[in-house]
Every structure is written in C-alpha cells, then in structure tokens.
Amino acid sequence: MQFIVRSATERQLITVGEASLHLSEEIKEKYYEIDWRGIKGFRNIMTHEYFGISVKMVWVVVINELPKLKKVAEKIIKELE
C-alpha cells in the first residue's frame, strides 16, 4: 500500500509541474511568492531522475510547498473563470 501511495503522490507532483509549464508569465509574475522555477525543476527531477528521488524530498514538498501552491492555484482558477 505504501508503494501505491508514494507512486500516486509522485505522479500528481509531476502533473502539477506539467500544469505550471502552461501558465503565462503574467500569472507567474503576479504570484511571485511561488517558486515556479523550483516547480519546473522538481518536475524534471521526478520525470528524468526517478532513482534519485528520496521519500524525504517528496515529503518536504508535499508538507511545505503544496499548501501554498494550492492557495495560489485556487486564486488562479477563480481568475480564469
């Protein structure tokens, strides 16, 4: 079960990274508090260096970064509606 949860979490982080690549520079500049380059970089690591990913690295992103990103994503979605 732990493997399934980890795999699903990692896949969703890749999806978040992919989605961030499609945001306009205007939106990224407006929400400068998010490390958009870091998201792209983490997505690249997750995609291309699978065996270099530690559970701790994923956990830190999920706990420390995802809540901030969720708040901004909700604002962006409202803007685009």
Task: List, by residue number, the catalytic residues.
Answer: 43, 48
Phi, psi of 9 (to 5 degrees): -65, -45
* Three-state secondary structure readout of 26-52: HHHHHCCCCCHHHHHHHHHHHHHCHHH
DSSP code of residue 1: -
